[in-house]
Amino acid sequence: ENRGKGFAIRTGLKSADGDIVIIQDADLEYDPEDIPSVVEPIVSGQTEVCYGSRFLGELERMAIPNRVANWMLAKSASWLFWVKITDEATAYKAFRHEVLKKIDLECEGFEFCPEVTAKVLRLGYSIQEVSVRFRARTVWEGKKIGWPDFGIAIRTLLKYRFAKLEAFTKS
């Protein structure tokens, strides 16, 4: 039974035991050869959280509506949290494991991305971005995310921007 991206990530995090955790969707849109560049800023002590930005790297075949939605999500996150972020919805996210241990993740679906972004930023961590390669899948190749997910993402960013910190941190 497919219970969603957020559920799958939360399940995987229960077994994670390394110092650094990297999340990459298994749909082959992202190049695994970019993993070292995504974790390097954490390994070198520059940051605790690093995202692989599709909009700083090679972007192949992303449909215009998807580009617009991603731009709007990035601008919304930047505005709500007073940071500059180019790719809030990237599926390439790396964290020092201790950061994720402080956060109570609860999402089931695609809203994992705005949930973890909002919670990390609310806890005072900065997000560094590095360029990654990206080749978008088409609907015929299995692309499932759509405009309803955009609305859920915006609501999720707003929810955690204004929630009390105690509501989503682990003691």
Tell me whether strands 49-53 and 127-131 are parallel, antiparallel or unpaired: parallel
pLDDT at 27 over 80: no
pLDDT at 47 over 60: yes
Q: E strands of the chain, at which residues?
A: 20-24, 49-53, 59-60, 92-96, 127-131, 134-135
pLDDT at 143 over 70: no
By mean pLDDT, which of 15-19, 56-60, 110-114, 127-131 is the weakest?
56-60
Q: What is the pLDDT of residue 171?
A: 64
CA 51 – CA 93 distance, rounded (Å):
5
Type of residue at 140: W
CB proximity list for 166: less than 8 A, separation 6 or greater:
none
pLDDT (tens digit per residue) in 89-137 = 998 999 999 999 999 999 988 899 999 999 999 999 999 999 999 888 6
Alpha-carbon dihedral angle through residues 74, 102, 97, 92, given to the nearest 10 degrees: -20
CATH fold for the domain made of 5-167: Spore Coat Polysaccharide Biosynthesis Protein SpsA; Chain A (3.90.550)
